[in-house]
């Protein structure tokens, strides 16, 4: 259908010299900090409220706190994530990487989540971090900051989808191999199974928001149930067959499987937690479909990081205390998870647990498809993507961005063809997910913390006096870990041992920056920041109005 634009005029109201004075009501959040909550419960439910951020309300707000938490919790996929990241924590320094290596990393990841939640409460739009980067950047740098943040986030999410679905297909066919040892899956079988999984996830992501909410709520119960079943079955078999490992060995015996010093190997083991926790930004991108978004969306982020991190640690502890032969698991030619399970329990029980892991991994892939399509939609409506007019449309029947879902699906299919290039190639491509996500996570946080004159104004969910301290911890942690994420495990790697993350992530990002320098800087002006009263500098009283072009596409 035809589309049109209309100019909407927004004006700045007088800024309070004390932003918290109008909030007044305090509640104790799970994080232990005082969170100021004083905005009306339907504060961001009205179209006018989203209009102040520069956008027209086009989605139905059918997602509750539990629903939006369900999307991000499903995207974590704790069971399959723990299964696939054993390579990092156990495979680098042994069982200490599973226990205190995980919990230290999760504590620092929680700082990133808290800082992100504060930004989400202040600016609850589907653009998420991309929008926040534009608002918080120094004068004149907003478009470039949002360009880099947006593409880094989108690149990580785009690669994350086929990565998750490929892992799901690999585990599914791996379960067949456990039952029939003579069977070895071929590349074309992996491709076809992954393609079917990707198509089903795209279909679900295109459904009306209300149906997606029901699906993800059910999936959260299912994920939790599968996690508990795995927990109980492992403990039951371990207690019956061989008992539990000594605590001193579990917590203190570092077996360095890398060529680097023990301290650096410990840092490398953090990669497992970072990779697992790279999807908790989903509530930010779903905020335009969330009721009371300025409170429920940030709560969803914090709940996902906290509950996911602690539940993941419990599973890591169980693995560390029940593992029979650590060296056999680390040096296996097949899946570490499958090898570990076969040590602890019978073949039939191992196949059953692997099957539960496959279902959880499928749910994880669907969460990615939903979040990634909302990112594509938000970028398209600001003209970031080629053919943006097409991908910014919301389907009139489902009220979801179906065209954006199809865009992501087509890209995922193209990536899946790399399966035929071999394991080294596909692993190199899939390695960019975590680094792309965390670069995007911390870019606006750094601007919030280190640029004094940024235009941040706390939303109803905020960290108060701890905001800059927690934000600084977040930035230093990610700045430390980005180089670590790019290191191979050996000092003189062959191509198959090389960590190609720096090339696979850095190459596209350099091209994206070059694109901006040559062309995009002339036409890309950043997201539509209209009626910026939530983000003005504390104590400043600008009385002026701006015009913003608000899309009225149907």
pLDDT per residue as tens digits for the range 129-161: 888 898 888 888 989 999 999 899 889 888 888
Which tokens hold the place of 530?
């209209």
DSSP string of 106-171? Answer: HHHHHHHHHHHHHHHHHS-STTTHHHHHHHHSPTT-HHHHHHHHHHHHHHHHHHHHHHHHHHHHHH
Q: Is the dihedral of CA 547, 548, 549, 551 positive or negative?
A: negative
Predicted confidence (pLDDT) at residue 20 exceeds the cutoff of 70: no
If phi > 0 it is left, if psi is from -120 to 50 it is alpha, else beta; for residue 243 that is left
Model confidence pLDDT, tens digit, residues 193-203? 999 999 999 99
Helix (H) or strand (E) holding 26, with range, is strand 26-28
Q: Report the pLDDT value the prediction gives residue 103, as an integer from 0 to 100.
A: 93
Please give the torsion angle defined by the CA atoms of residues 372, 373, 375 and 379, in that order, rounded to the nearest 10 degrees.
140
How far is Cα 310 from Cα 485, in angstroms, rounded to an integer?
22
Which residues pair with residue 551 across a beta bridge? 5
Predicted confidence (pLDDT) at residue 113 exceeds the cutoff of 70: yes
Q: What is the DSSP letter of 368?
A: H
Q: Report the pLDDT value the prediction gives residue 140, as an integer from 0 to 100.
A: 86
Better-predicted residue by pLDDT, 536 or 340: 340
The least confident of 255-269, 303-317, 365-379, 407-421 is 365-379
Confidence of residue 471 (pLDDT cuts 50, 70, 90): very high
Question: Which distant-in-sequence residues (6+ apart) come within 8 Å of 448 by Cβ?
Answer: 115, 119, 132, 136, 454, 456, 467, 468, 471
Question: Which distant-in-sequence residues (6+ apart) come within 8 Å of 317 by Cβ?
Answer: 98, 99
Confidence of residue 172 (pLDDT cuts 50, 70, 90): confident
DSSP string of 341-409? Answer: HHHHS-HHHHHHHHHHHHHHHHHHHHHHHHHHHHHHHHHHTTT-STTHHHHTPPPTTT-S-HHHHHHHH
How far is Cα 104 from Cα 100, in angstroms, rounded to an integer?
6
Model confidence pLDDT, tens digit, residues 23-71? 333 333 333 333 333 333 444 454 445 444 444 544 445 567 887 888 7
Model confidence pLDDT, tens digit, residues 297-354? 899 999 999 999 999 999 999 999 999 999 999 998 778 898 899 899 998 899 899 9
Angle between helices 347-380 and 65-76 (to 10 degrees): 120
Angle between helices 347-380 and 402-416 (to 10 degrees): 130
The least confident of 11-25, 47-61, 178-192, 496-510 is 11-25
Question: Which distant-in-sequence residues (6+ apart) come within 8 Å of 425 by Cβ?
Answer: 418
Beta strand pairing call for 34-36 and 5-11 = unpaired
Better-predicted residue by pLDDT, 50 or 427: 427
What domains, with CATH codes, occur in the chain? 57-459+473-504 (1.20.1740.10)
How far is Cα 218 from Cα 392, in angstroms, rounded to an integer?
29
Residue range 470-487: mean pLDDT, rounded? 93
Q: Is the dihedral of CA 78, 83, 87, 90 positive or negative?
A: positive
Q: Report the pLDDT value the prediction gives residue 553, as an integer from 0 to 100.
A: 37
Of all residues in the chain, the percent with pLDDT exceeding 90 is 34
Q: Report the pLDDT value the prediction gives residue 288, as an integer from 0 to 100.
A: 76
Residue with tokens 């998870």: 337
How far is Cα 123 from Cα 153, in angstroms, rounded to an integer?
17
Model confidence pLDDT, tens digit, residues 259-274? 999 999 999 999 889 9
**3-state SS assignment for residue 427:** helix
How far is Cα 376 from Cα 388, in angstroms, rounded to an integer?
9
Q: Report the pLDDT value the prediction gives residue 385, as an integer from 0 to 100.
A: 84
Q: Report the pLDDT value the prediction gives residue 404, as an integer from 0 to 100.
A: 93
Per the prediction, the chain carries an average pLDDT of 80
Which tokens hold the place of 82?
């723990």
The least confident of 10-19, 366-375, 471-480 is 10-19
Q: Report the pLDDT value the prediction gives residue 117, as an integer from 0 to 100.
A: 92
Of all residues in the chain, the percent with pLDDT exceeding 70 is 83
Better-predicted residue by pLDDT, 400 or 406: 406
Residue range 413-418: mean pLDDT, rounded? 91
Residue with tokens 């850095």: 506
In angstroms, the first-to-last Cα distance of the chain is: 7
Predicted confidence (pLDDT) at residue 424 exceeds the cutoff of 80: no
Which tokens hold the place of 348?
């039939």
Q: Report the pLDDT value the prediction gives residue 309, as an integer from 0 to 100.
A: 93
How far is Cα 420 from Cα 306, in angstroms, rounded to an integer?
38
């Amino acid at each position: 259908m035809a589309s049109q634009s209309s100019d909407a005029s927004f004006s700045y109201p007088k800024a309070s010299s004390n932003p918290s004075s109008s909030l007044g009501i305090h509640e104790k959040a799970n994080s232990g900090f005082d969170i100021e909550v004083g905005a009306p419960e339907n504060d961001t439910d009205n179209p006018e409220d989203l209009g102040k951020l520069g956008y027209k309300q086009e989605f139905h707000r059918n997602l509750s706190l539990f629903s939006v938490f369900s999307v991000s919790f499903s995207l974590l996929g704790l069971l399959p994530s723990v299964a696939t990241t054993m390579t990092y924590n156990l495979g680098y320094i042994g069982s200490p990487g599973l226990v205190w290596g995980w919990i230290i990393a999760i504590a620092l990841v929680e700082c990133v989540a808290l800082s992100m939640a504060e930004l989400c409460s202040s600016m609850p739009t589907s653009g998420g971090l991309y929008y926040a980067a534009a608002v918080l950047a120094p004068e004149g740098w907003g478009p470039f900051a949002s360009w880099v943040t947006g593409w880094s986030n989108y690149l990580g999410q785009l690669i994350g989808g086929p990565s998750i679905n490929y892992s799901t297909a690999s585990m599914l066919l791996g379960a067949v191999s456990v039952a029939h040892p003579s069977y070895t899956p071929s590349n074309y079988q992996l491709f076809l199974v992954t393609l079917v999984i990707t198509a089903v996830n795209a279909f679900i992501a295109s459904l009306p928001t209300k149906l997606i909410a029901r699906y993800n709520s059910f999936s959260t119960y299912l994920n939790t149930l599968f996690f508990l079943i795995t927990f109980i079955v492992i403990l039951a078999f371990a207690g019956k067959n061989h008992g539990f490992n000594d605590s001193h060995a579990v917590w203190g015996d570092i077996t360095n499987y890398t060529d680097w010093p023990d301290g650096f190997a410990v840092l490398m083991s953090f990669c497992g937690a970072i990779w697992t926790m790279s999807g908790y930004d989903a509530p930010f991108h779903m905020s335009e479909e969330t009721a009371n978004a300025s409170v429920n969306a940030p709560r969803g982020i914090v709940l996902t990081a906290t509950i996911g991190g602690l539940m993941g640690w419990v599973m890591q502890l169980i693995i560390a205390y029940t593992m029979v032969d650590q060296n056999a698991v680390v040096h296996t030619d097949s899946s570490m998870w499958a090898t570990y399970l076969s040590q602890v329990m019978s073949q039939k029980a191992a196949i059953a647990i692997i099957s539960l892991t496959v279902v959880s991994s499928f749910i994880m892939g669907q969460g990615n498809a939903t979040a990634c399509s909302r990112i594509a939609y938000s970028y398209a409506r600001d003209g970031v993507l080629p053919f943006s007019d097409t991908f910014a449309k919301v389907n009139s029947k489902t009220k979801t961005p179906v065209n954006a879902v199809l865009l992501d699906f087509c890209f995922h299919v193209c990536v899946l063809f790399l399966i035929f290039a071999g394991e080294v190639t596909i692993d190199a491509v899939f390695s960019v997910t975590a680094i792309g996500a965390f670069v995007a996570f911390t870019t606006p946080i750094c601007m919030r913390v280190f640029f004094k004159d940024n235009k941040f104004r706390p939303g109803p969910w905020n960290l108060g006096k701890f905001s800059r301290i927690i934000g600084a911890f977040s930035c230093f942690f990610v700045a430390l870990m980005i180089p670590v994420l790019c290191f191979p495990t050996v000092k003189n790697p062959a191509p198959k041992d090389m960590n190609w993350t720096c090339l696979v992530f850095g190459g596209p990002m350099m091209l994206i920056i070059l694109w901006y320098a040559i062309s995009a800087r002339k036409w890309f002006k950043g997201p539509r920041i209209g009626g910026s009263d939530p983000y003005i500098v504390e104590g400043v009283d600008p009385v002026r109005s701006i015009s913003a072009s608000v899309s009225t596409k149907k």
